[in-house]
Amino acid sequence: MGIEDDFYATIKLVSGEEIFARVAASEEEDRTVLLLSSPITIGEIKNRMGVIGYKVEPWLKTTKDDLFVITMDKVLTISETTDMEMINLYQRFVRDSVRDDNPVASSKLSREMGLLGNIDETKKKLEKLFKSS
């Protein structure tokens, strides 16, 4: 079993999905598999004027795993990229998702962030507003 150097690539699966990831190819017995690190999907955000931005999301949204194995029979095509804008977008997403998963790295709530109160006080304020309207 040998693992090749990793690289960034866009992968089109036979299912029609298009994903971007850091990829390493590995020989397993008599077949080649791809090891995908934190794969993402990218969608265009459009308005009447055309594309105004991009939405980056994890490929699989219901797992915290960051390493996936895909056999080559599931791959339609793969395209290695050296596009630094795309690579930076990917790296920023991975870095931000690690920060979101780490409660120590997340900021703590404070009074400077806005109003803090308990449920009873908030309920009374809302009832008062409702009755006065």
Query: What pLDDT was estimated at residue 121?
Result: 75
User: If DSSP codes are grouped into helix, strand and coil, which group holds residue 104?
Assistant: coil
Q: Are strands 31-47 and 18-28 parallel, antiparallel or unpaired?
A: antiparallel
Query: What pLDDT was estimated at residue 130?
Result: 75
Question: How sure is the predictor about 116, in pLDDT bands with cuts at 50, 70 and 90?
Answer: low
38 conformational bin, left if phi > 0, alpha if psi -120 to 50, beta if neither: left
**Model confidence pLDDT, tens digit, residues 52-105:** 788 899 999 898 888 999 999 999 999 999 999 899 999 999 988 876 655 554
Domains of the chain: 7-105 (2.30.30.100)
**Model confidence pLDDT, tens digit, residues 17-63:** 999 999 999 888 888 899 999 999 988 888 888 777 888 999 998 98
